[in-house]
Amino acid sequence: MILLTGGGGFLGQHMARCLAERGEKVLIMQRRAISCPPLLKDYWDSHIVQEVGTVQDLPFLLGLVKKHGVDSIVHGAFASTDLAGGPYTVADNSLHHLVDVQVNGSVNIFEAARLHGLRRVTFISSGSNYDALPGQPEDWHEDAYLPTVTFAPISNTKKACEQIALLYAKTYGMSFVSLRVGLVYGPASSRGSDSFYAMVAGALAGQRTELPKVPANLSFPMVYAKDVGVATALVHQAAQPRHYIYNLMNTRTSSMQEFADAVKAHLPQAQISLGPAMPAARPIHDVPMERYREEFGFEPCDLQRGVGAFIEWCRSGRY
């Protein structure tokens, strides 16, 4: 049994499904119970079960491992609600909780894995670890020296967790892998703040989508959600990954305008208007994905195919 923390969330559902499709039994765990979402309906109860709880509670985690015979952990829980209107600001009075969930919660996961001698912990990290790195995205290779002084809630806590996990790996021989995931779009991302979902859903509904606060030239390393699920499953099931850290994103950054154009290429009736270009936006650039591709023989699909698959899911439910 694989314990998947945050399994009821956006990415968690993709990881749960892709692990289940590969024959794994998955125990999803988050703070609130979810009812079976469309993505998981073929595997609910047969391959996927859930428990409710928090990664902040080590005795609970130890009990969970014992009760379900957990043999490895994919750790994706994230206190998204502690962020304020975007990834770079913490909501009022939420920093202690954010750090408690992200850092102490991760330490609890590593400790539970150590105490029970689990096979592996796969940690869902973030491409935002590279945000403040000087140079272009082509320099975002996994062994890059990341800047010492940064002020971003996601990357600061993700970097802290990676460092602590490496200590666990060295001290106790724990098998640890971290996936630095790009900005994800795809099914199950129905949160109101998701511009990707808004563009696709608006186009399918024949409605104009206005996103005046999203600069057209804002660019990210993007990745289709199903590919994150597949890639996580491949890493997690691998006998012996060669590295601790892997990038998991498209081999090229994309702008929001390119995403809108991809939607229009599939749905010519789409009417999407984005905000004015911002000065000094990150240029569109290549991103290193060789490490993952060469070892696992898999690469996330490009934006055109990813947007096509997203639309297909919305139309027909084909995953």
Ligand X SMILES: NC(=O)c1ccc[n+]([C@@H]2O[C@H](COP(=O)([O-])OP(=O)(O)OC[C@H]3O[C@@H](n4cnc5c(N)ncnc54)[C@H](OP(=O)(O)O)[C@@H]3O)[C@@H](O)[C@H]2O)c1
Residue 80 in contact with ligand X, rule: CB under 6 A: yes
Give SS3 for 81: helix
Kindly tell me which of 101 and 231 has the beta carbon lying closer to ligand X.
Answer: 101
Checking phi first, is residue 6 left (phi over 0); if not, alpha (psi -120 to 50) or beta? left
Among 37, 56, 147, 172, binds ligand X (CB under 6 A): 56
Residues 245-264 that bind ligand X (CB under 6 A): none
Residue 10 in contact with ligand X, rule: CB under 6 A: yes
Closest distance of CB 224 from ligand X, Å: 11
Residue 48 in contact with ligand X, rule: CB under 6 A: no
Shortest Cβ contact with ligand X: which residue?
9
Site map (CB under 6 A) of ligand X, residues 101-140, x = contact: x---x------------------x-x--------------
Kindly tell me which of 126 and 253 has the beta carbon lying closer to ligand X.
Answer: 126
User: Which tokens belong to 160?
Assistant: 């802290």
Residues 159-188 that bind ligand X (CB under 6 A): 181, 183-184
Closest distance of CB 118 from ligand X, Å: 17
Residue 303 in contact with ligand X, rule: CB under 6 A: no
Among 21, 25, 54, 257, binds ligand X (CB under 6 A): 54
Among 2, 3, 9, 226, binds ligand X (CB under 6 A): 9
Checking phi first, is residue 161 left (phi over 0); if not, alpha (psi -120 to 50) or beta? alpha
Residue 77 in contact with ligand X, rule: CB under 6 A: yes
231/237 Cα distance (integer angstroms):
10
> Which candidate, 142, 186, 241, places its Cα nearest to that of 15?
186
Kindly tell me which of 194 and 271 has the beta carbon lying closer to ligand X.
Answer: 194
Helix spans in the chain (H): 10-21, 58-68, 95-99, 105-115, 153-172, 195-204, 225-237, 256-266, 290-296, 303-316
Q: Which stretch binds ligand X (CB under 6 A): 50-58, 106-114, 197-205, 282-290?
A: 50-58
Strands of 245-248's sheet in order across: 48-52, 26-30, 2-5, 72-75, 121-126, 176-181, 245-248
Tell me if 209 sits within 8 A of 199, measured CB to CB.
yes
Closest distance of CB 49 from ligand X, Å: 15
Tell me if 91 sits within 8 A of 76, measured CB to CB.
no
Q: Count interface residues toward ligand X (CB under 6 A).
A: 26
> Which candidate, 115, 98, 2, places its Cα nearest to that of 55?
98
Give the CA distances from residue 155 to residues 6, 129, 149, in Å, rounded to whole numbers and listed in that order: 18, 5, 11
Interface residues with ligand X (CB under 6 A) are 5-6, 8-12, 30-32, 54-56, 76-80, 101, 105, 124, 126, 154, 181, 183-184
